[in-house]
Each structure stands twice: as structure tokens, then as C-alpha cells.
Structure 1
């Protein structure tokens, strides 16, 4: 089938909010009396807020009741949102604007497929809300990646079949989600890490829409 739609993950593909997550988690750890390194933070990428908190508490040797953990997760999110609310179009990753101009010219449909509940806020801050025909975020799904729900819902909202979609993902779990959904997957990052992807590039800047279509329609 010919490709009709491109589905994009947000973080690591369109923008990079990893630094803000790290700053908020680091602040939380510091308030609890220990620290987390950038190296440790790599383990939290693509992991839910609850699981991230569990990993951090384990790292600090702390065991807390669920009520307290809920409170801490909420606090971290508030700090993160403070940082994210200062984002501007300058935070869009290199090559994204050019790539999206090519996408529109090619007449392709677009959807965002992000497990983040903060995705609409981030898109608004960087001025990219109108770049998407459909936005699937954490409020619209019940299962996180590697479950394909976020992408299959995106395809459904666009009125296309999964086999007519190309997914752009920077995380292993996201690549797996796209593949499980029956889609062609472009990995953004390292080919050594994103081994399941059909095509891998370091960024959207390194790709053209023509190149992606040539591979996905082959």
C-alpha cells in the first residue's frame, strides 16, 4: 500500500524535553537527600512517570508509601511544566520545519503519537499545534508504548490503515510499538540501538520526505 500518513513521536523527534525532565527529577532527588547523574537519567527515557519515580527511589535507597509517591510525582510534574512553559519555537529540533514543509507539499496526513499528557502544551509553546491533523497524547490512551495503541489510534483518527503509515520514533519502545502496529518505522537516533527500525537517521534534518517514501513504498 502507498504511504498516506506520517505519525511522529514528540520528544526526541520534534523537540527535546529530556533536559527538563532531568532537571525536575534531579531537584526532587536533591530534596530527598541524594543526587542523580545524567547517566542515570538515560534509564528514565521513554519510561512512565510512576516507573521513573520507583527507579529514582530505589537508586536513593528509599521506600515510600503510595500516597507519598503520588505527591512526589505530582510535584515533579509541576516543576517540569514550569520549565516547559518557557519553551519557544527555538526549542524545535534542527530540520523539523523543513521536513514538515516537505510533508505538506507531498500531501501527506500527520498525527502526533505521544504518551505524554503534556504534549498539547508543548506543541502550543513551540507553535506546532497546526502542523498535525490529529493529536494522540497520554489522555487518549490506556496503554503506553511498546503497546501500539497510540499509533493505531492516530491512524484511525486520520482515516488511514496502519500499513499506510510511517512512524518516526527515537525510543526502542516506540519503534516496537510502531512495528507491532503494522507500520513502517523510521528510527531517529543510532542504528545500534534502534535495531528494529526499517530505516534509521540521526535526525529529521538528515532525511527528506522523498527518501522516506521511496523506502516505505518499496
Structure 2
């Protein structure tokens, strides 16, 4: 179905685990502190986007202008709240079929990388007890450019020792799908075909690929 590939690169949020609800709680809390309403519809704009860029979007929604120093403090505050929310995560939070598909790939000799904007990715993988299923972890601590820039996926392929055309990307966000395509990789979108129009193939979850 997906053809031959030697490497698989996975986004974290919305693909392996659903941390979107925890991000929403933290951003919503921050918006309330700033005196405006942040909805789940607004939250869709933050999917697959770095923390700093997400804050810029949030401030734009609230029509608030702040100094760079204040922005940095708010970004750190949001992350502090988010970390509090995810500290108690465990393996039960893994999305259906995700662990099984990762193991299936490993058993077939496919190299696996994480390609996430999250700076908390290592902690989340540890909490989920699936760190050992990844050959390479590229997160927000490893990159300087946010999706849709292809940096995270190009770096992932490089660390795996593979050419971009030998890799396939699994993403749930439009910005991530675009990043994968710009990297010269095939992309499997996880979610809605209406949102992930650039993806080569769209599924509702990794459970569809297990077997």
C-alpha cells in the first residue's frame, strides 16, 4: 500500500500520542491570564507548530503586542503548565495501533525517527515507555526552524543515514505534511483529507496499517 521505504519519520502529537488536549489546556489557561478567549478552533492553528510560533499565533488571536522578553516569559510559563499536565502520562495514552505499528516496522528492518517540534518529546517517550523503538529522536531541542520548514525531517533522514526519497513521513498537521513534501519524502496524513490535502495517503490512525 505505501510502497517500499527504508525509513519512517513520525510526528509525536496526534500521531503517536494525543497531547493536543494538554497543549490546549495550557494555551487556554494562558489566554485567560491575558484576558481573552482561546477556543478549540483556534487551537487547530497551533498543531505542528513550535512553541514560540504558537505563542505568536495566540497573541495575534488576542490582538496583544508584547516585548520579546515578555514573550519568552509567557512561553516558559505555558510550558511549565503543560509539563505539569503531561507528567502523569503513561502507556495508556498511546494512540491505538501506534506502538504495534512501530514494532512492526522494526521487525521489518525499517529505521525509525521521531520528528517533532516538541521540546518535551524525550520525556513523553519515556513516560510512554517507547523510547527504545526509535533509532533517532529529532525534537525542538535539535532544530531551529519550525514546520513547514523541512529541517526536522531532513535532519532525521540524515541521522538515519538515508536519502529523503527513501523515507516516509507520518503527520497529522497540515504544516507537518507540507514539511515532509518539501523534504522530498512521501507523506501519510493522519486525520482528515480536507485538512491534509498535500498528503500522498490519508488514514484515520496508525491502527489501519497494523497487520
Asked if structure 1 preserves the Cα contact closer than 8 Å seen for 2:180 and 2:187, the reply is yes
Asked if structure 1 preserves the Cα contact closer than 8 Å seen for 2:23 and 2:82, the reply is yes
The correspondence for 1:152, drawn from 142, 151, 154, is 154
Q: Which moved more, 1:100-109 or 1:75-84?
A: 100-109
The correspondence for 2:40, drawn from 38, 42, 62, is 38
Deviation at 1:26, TM superposition (A): 1.2
1:77-127 deviation per Cα after TM superposition (whole angstroms, max 9, x unaligned): 100011111110011001112212211221111111112111111111111
Residue 23 (structure 1) aligns with: 25
Asked if structure 1 preserves the Cα contact closer than 8 Å seen for 2:111 and 2:160, the reply is yes
Q: Distance in 2 between matches of 1:184 and 1:57?
A: 34
Structure-1-length-normalised TM-score = 0.90
Q: Distance in 2 between matches of 1:50 and 1:150?
A: 16
State the secondary structure of the residue aligned to 1:69: helix
1:39-86 deviation per Cα after TM superposition (whole angstroms, max 9, x unaligned): 222222222222322332333343222222211111111000111111
Bigger radius of gyration:
1
State the secondary structure of the residue aligned to 1:6: strand
State the secondary structure of the residue aligned to 1:71: helix
Deviation at 1:2, TM superposition (A): 4.2
Q: Distance in 1 between matches of 2:63 and 2:202?
A: 38
Q: Does 1:112 align with 2:108?
A: no
1:181-196 to structure 2, matched below 5 A, reads 181-196=183-198
Q: Distance in 2 between matches of 1:144 and 1:63?
A: 21
* Structure 1 residue ranges, 4+ long, deviating more than 4 angstroms after superposition: none
Residue 14 (structure 2) aligns with: 12
- Rate the CA distance shift 1:57–1:99 in 2: closer, same or farther, 3 A: same
1:88-103 to structure 2, matched below 5 A, reads 88-103=90-105
Residue 5 (structure 2) aligns with: 3
Structure-2-length-normalised TM-score = 0.93
Deviation at 1:136, TM superposition (A): 0.7
State the secondary structure of the residue aligned to 2:21: helix
Gap regions ≥5 residues in structure 1: 210-218
1:176-197 deviation per Cα after TM superposition (whole angstroms, max 9, x unaligned): 1111111111111111211111
1:143-172 deviation per Cα after TM superposition (whole angstroms, max 9, x unaligned): 121111111111111111111111111111
1:18-49 deviation per Cα after TM superposition (whole angstroms, max 9, x unaligned): 11111111111222223212222222222222
Deviation at 1:202, TM superposition (A): 0.6
